[in-house]
Structure 1
Amino acid sequence: MTKETRLSLQGTIAGRIGFGCWQLAGAYASANGRPNGYGDIDEAEGIRAIHYALDNGINFFDTAIGYNDGHSERVLGKALVSYTGSAGVRPVICTKYEGWPGMEGLQDFAADMERNVDMSLQRLGMKSLDMLLLHNPPDDLDLSAMDLAPFERMVAAGKIKEYGVSCRTVKGVANVLEHGFGSVVEAVYNVLDRRYEPFFAHEAYARYTFICRVPLASGFVSPRTLAEDRVFAGNDIRSNFSSEQVEWVTGAVRSLAFLNELEGGITVSALRFQLSNPYRTIAIPGIKNVRQAADAALAMRLGPLPQDVVQRIADAVPEVFYKWR
């Protein structure tokens, strides 16, 4: 199998490096008052970044209802409506619904999910979603008891094409695949955490598309981390990270400094790593400006890393942070 940079999804071609839209949600807080976004954004610059991505072969967009109460979807919708580039560009949209059967306070899962999908379509200005994912349900959610009828009704109505789960951890991924739920699964996968990888090649899961989130380790895989200790604003979710985690991640990134010697530097190289397997994976770096979109486009143009570099990454970072296990 060749290492293609594009995938066929329900007859639509999508680039294997996409556009993560969490950053477009701006600054907001979770229910407990802690920051849950990536700080302030320039919405106009975010829209320019989306247009740049579309002009340069990046057409897969991952967003969620929970990203600031749909604000990320609104920004993406504005960008898609105002795009005047190539008429042949077809955006591929994945969004996520914040609910599951048995969730506390949720009386009617099916009705609530369908209502939220309708609202997402309105915010996005779309008639159909390519993918709908349950957003971070419990890792041990009993998927064998899941009623598929609400999902299949939306497929039949043309509101969604595929469905699946965005998982909290690798244990959640195993649960989804064990029960054969849906055809899409999303989880963390990057140069510092490669535990998701064994699922890609498993022939029993060949029908799944694997979405790889935080491919830049929440922005830590960056020349800035090589040069200085990172400090984040109080409205940035990364300000919640423990000093122990930040110290480990910083050290791990610095052990990969050799990637900065390649064209585009460490950020582009880490995105090229995502293309270095031949499987049905799509990486979704968080993007909020044209510079970040340009890095993703350059990674697509350069293609996979040489295999000896991939092995060097594995040798440099053989284990994940112990609290992620």
Structure 2
Amino acid sequence: MNVAKIGSLEVSAQGFGAMGLSHVYGQADEAESIRTLHRAIDLGVTFFDTATGYGNGHNEDLLGRAIAGRRDELVIASKFTHGQGGEGRKVSAREAVEASLRRLNVDRIDLYYLHRVDPEVPVTESVGQLAQLRDEGKIGGVGLSEASASQLRAAHGETPITALQSEYSLWTRDVEAEILPLTRELGIGFVAYSPLGRGFLAGAGPVEDNDRRRIHPRFQDEAVAANARRRVTIEGVAERLGVTPAQVSLAWVLSKGVVPIPGTRHIRHLEDNWAAGTISLDDETVAELEAAFPRGATVGDRYPAEQMAFVPAAEPALS
């Protein structure tokens, strides 16, 4: 099994992002989701990612049930935001971690992130709260998700940060300009979520009416048409190599020395994703893919406007 290091944590080179198992991309079948999680463990996936906000705790509960009896083999990560209390009440890291421990049915969470930096709470205060919980043994590493370079530096100055999780794929390469170099400078692990562009790079898109992607700018008709013209390059490489577009897209992310956490409800897609670890892209192929997806060229924002306010600003779109 190929392994990677995130701080002191040793994980499978490819993790599993569980978000889509909690009705984010339409209705999910729990029995099928648990079978998929069990198959991931059997394949060799040791790194599983969830969050308090995925299904209002449902995702942590589901993952907790799936890993029962095998928890010691795995590295479990979760996340929280201060704004989950409702009606303006701020949730403390302690309150969030205690709830996560109960839902996951574990006595320690290996990596716990601040899911988004709260504009009303200094990032140093947030990670300071997490550091205290780390010192008490309730969590292992302290992480941040979608932090800017200045926020990451400030947080790391307060307490050592184990990992930064941000969106990274061929159609979301903004982190290459400043964030990725900084994580390497500071010795912080980088975890790439949505490495398949929420399925788009693998040829997938919204099917059900309640699929959250329907409100994302990148999944509106004009954006899909424009971005699909770039995806043709991935499809061409896949045909040439005798693999799938998903495998090409994941192999590219893996080539960057980061840990991607693709997620799926279906065993066939899981096995397809996992096989990407056997693919090595040569320099010419990497250059070909990157020429098709230059930084800032993807049409449409990553999130609706109200959510974009909580992620670092992207580079201007290319003309």
Say whether the fold is shared (TM-score over 0.5): yes
**For structure 2, which runs of at least 5 residues remain unmatched after alignment?**
302-313, 315-319
Compute the RMSD of aligned alpha carbons: 2.8
Alignment of 1:38 with 2:16, yes or no, is: no
2:263 to 267, 283, 286: 286
Alpha-carbon distance, 1:201 to partner: 3.9
Note the alpha carbon deviations across 1:181-216, whole angstroms, 9 max, x for none. 333211111011222124334476342111111100
TM-score between both structures, scaled by the size of structure 1: 0.80
Give the Cα–Cα distance (whole angstroms) in 2 for the partners of residues 308 and 46 of structure 1.
Answer: 38
Seen in structure 2, the aligned counterparts of structure 1 residues 149 and 142 have a Cα distance that, compared at 3 Å, is: closer
In structure 2, the residue matched to 1:16 is 13
Could you say what secondary structure the match of 2:201 adopts? Answer: coil
Note the alpha carbon deviations across 1:8-41, whole angstroms, 9 max, x for none. 3465420121101001112xxxxxxxxxx11111
TM-score between both structures, scaled by the size of structure 2: 0.82
Contact 1:264–1:295, Cα closer than 8 Å, also in 2: no
Seen in structure 2, the aligned counterparts of structure 1 residues 140 and 265 have a Cα distance that, compared at 3 Å, is: farther
Question: Once structures 1 and 2 are overlaid, which stretch shifts more, 267-276 or 246-255?
Answer: 246-255
Note the alpha carbon deviations across 1:72-93, whole angstroms, 9 max, x for none. 111111110165xxx9x72111
Contact 2:247–2:273, Cα closer than 8 Å, also in 1: yes
Seen in structure 2, the aligned counterparts of structure 1 residues 122 and 71 have a Cα distance that, compared at 3 Å, is: same
In structure 2, the residue matched to 1:175 is 150
Alignment of 1:311 with 2:291, yes or no, is: no
Question: Once structures 1 and 2 are overlaid, which stretch shifts more, 243-252 or 70-79?
Answer: 243-252
Amino acid at match of 1:287: T
**For structure 1, which runs of at least 5 residues remain unmatched after alignment?**
27-36
Contact 2:93–2:126, Cα closer than 8 Å, also in 1: no
Contact 1:21–1:62, Cα closer than 8 Å, also in 2: yes
Give the Cα–Cα distance (whole angstroms) in 2 for the partners of residues 240 and 63 of structure 1.
Answer: 22
Contact 2:61–2:103, Cα closer than 8 Å, also in 1: yes
Alpha-carbon distance, 1:160 to partner: 0.7
In structure 2, the residue matched to 1:161 is 140
Alignment of 1:257 with 2:235, yes or no, is: yes
Contact 2:81–2:118, Cα closer than 8 Å, also in 1: no
In structure 1, the residue matched to 2:36 is 49
Note the alpha carbon deviations across 1:263-282, whole angstroms, 9 max, x for none. 431101111112112x3x21
1:75-224 maps to which residues of 2 (within 5 A)?
75-81=62-68, 90-99=73-82, 105-107=88-90, 109=91, 112-138=92-118, 142-143=122-123, 145-146=124-125, 148-167=127-146, 172-181=147-156, 182-198=161-177, 199-202=179-182, 205-222=185-202, 224=203
2:226 to 244, 248, 264: 248
Contact 1:64–1:73, Cα closer than 8 Å, also in 2: yes
Alignment of 1:67 with 2:54, yes or no, is: yes
Could you say what secondary structure the match of 2:148 adopts? Answer: helix
In structure 1, the residue matched to 2:310 is none
Contact 2:127–2:155, Cα closer than 8 Å, also in 1: no
Contact 2:34–2:62, Cα closer than 8 Å, also in 1: yes
Seen in structure 2, the aligned counterparts of structure 1 residues 303 and 231 have a Cα distance that, compared at 3 Å, is: closer
Question: Once structures 1 and 2 are overlaid, which stretch shifts more, 244-253 or 115-124?
Answer: 244-253
Question: Structure with the greater relative contact order (CA < 8 A, sep ≥ 6): 1 or 2?
Answer: 1
Alpha-carbon distance, 1:140 to partner: 9.7
Alignment of 1:234 with 2:239, yes or no, is: no
Give the Cα–Cα distance (whole angstroms) in 2 for the partners of residues 142 and 115 of structure 1.
Answer: 18
Note the alpha carbon deviations across 1:285-315, whole angstroms, 9 max, x for none. 1221211210222112x14422221111111
Amino acid at match of 1:296: N
In structure 1, the residue matched to 2:309 is none
Could you say what secondary structure the match of 1:233 adopts? Answer: coil
Amino acid at match of 1:74: D
Aligned length: 292
Give the Cα–Cα distance (whole angstroms) in 2 for the partners of residues 220 and 322 of structure 1.
Answer: 13
Alpha-carbon distance, 1:139 to partner: 7.4
Seen in structure 2, the aligned counterparts of structure 1 residues 196 and 21 have a Cα distance that, compared at 3 Å, is: same
